[in-house]
């Protein structure tokens, strides 16, 4: 597997937000865990609460900022690009959740990046069996990075 092309854009303060190299490492870990071997491109935009809320309302009909939004690439037939999609991660929500859950901020950033990347690859957690499979994969990928199971209470 070649290293993924991960573009990171910061639309909010970078204070407390990981560097692009960390996001690349986490995306790569998710791809490896999902056994994706093809060339892959992902775009990540780090946003503030206002933009996170606006995007969540526009695309999911929910009027609050959420931690991560995944937008899988919807390429026309015959256009074979390595782009799998875009992630939007809301920095203040990630910081708040990490504090509330007693997690290291970097570990929570890693989890949400991996979670979002798996969504871009088609994983979901709507049905219980899907949720168990996705959470199990996330847990294994995170363990490979030395990060504890985020689903343990």
Given a cut of 70, is residue 42 above it in pLDDT?
A: yes
Residue 152: per-residue pLDDT: 87
Sequence-distant (6+) residues with CB within 8 A of 74 are none
Stated pTM of the model? 0.95
pLDDT tens profile 45-98: 999 999 999 999 999 999 999 999 999 999 899 888 999 999 999 999 999 999
| Percentage of residues in the chain having pLDDT higher than 70 | 99
Among left, alpha and beta (phi > 0; psi -120 to 50; other), residue 33 is alpha
pLDDT in tens, 119-144: 999 999 889 999 999 999 999 999 99
The answer, yes or no, to whether residue 153 has pLDDT greater than 80, is no
- Whether 150 shows a pLDDT value over 90: the answer reads yes
């Amino acid at each position: 597997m070649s290293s993924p092309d991960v573009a990171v854009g910061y639309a909010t303060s970078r204070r407390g937000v990981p560097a692009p190299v960390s996001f690349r490492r986490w995306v790569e870990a998710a791809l490896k865990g999902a056994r994706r071997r093809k060339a892959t491109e992902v775009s990540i935009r780090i946003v503030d609460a206002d933009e996170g809320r606006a995007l969540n309302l526009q695309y999911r009909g929910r009027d609050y900022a959420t931690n991560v939004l995944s937008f899988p690439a919807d390429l026309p037939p015959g256009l074979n690009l390595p782009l799998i999609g875009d992630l939007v991660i809301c920095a203040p929500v990630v910081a708040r959740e990490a504090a509330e859950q007693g997690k290291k901020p970097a570990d929570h950033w890693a989890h949400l990046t991996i979670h979002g990347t798996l969504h871009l690859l088609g994983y979901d957690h709507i049905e219980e069996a899907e949720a168990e499979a996705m959470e199990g994969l996330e847990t294994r990928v995170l363990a490979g990075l030395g990060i504890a199971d985020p689903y343990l209470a």
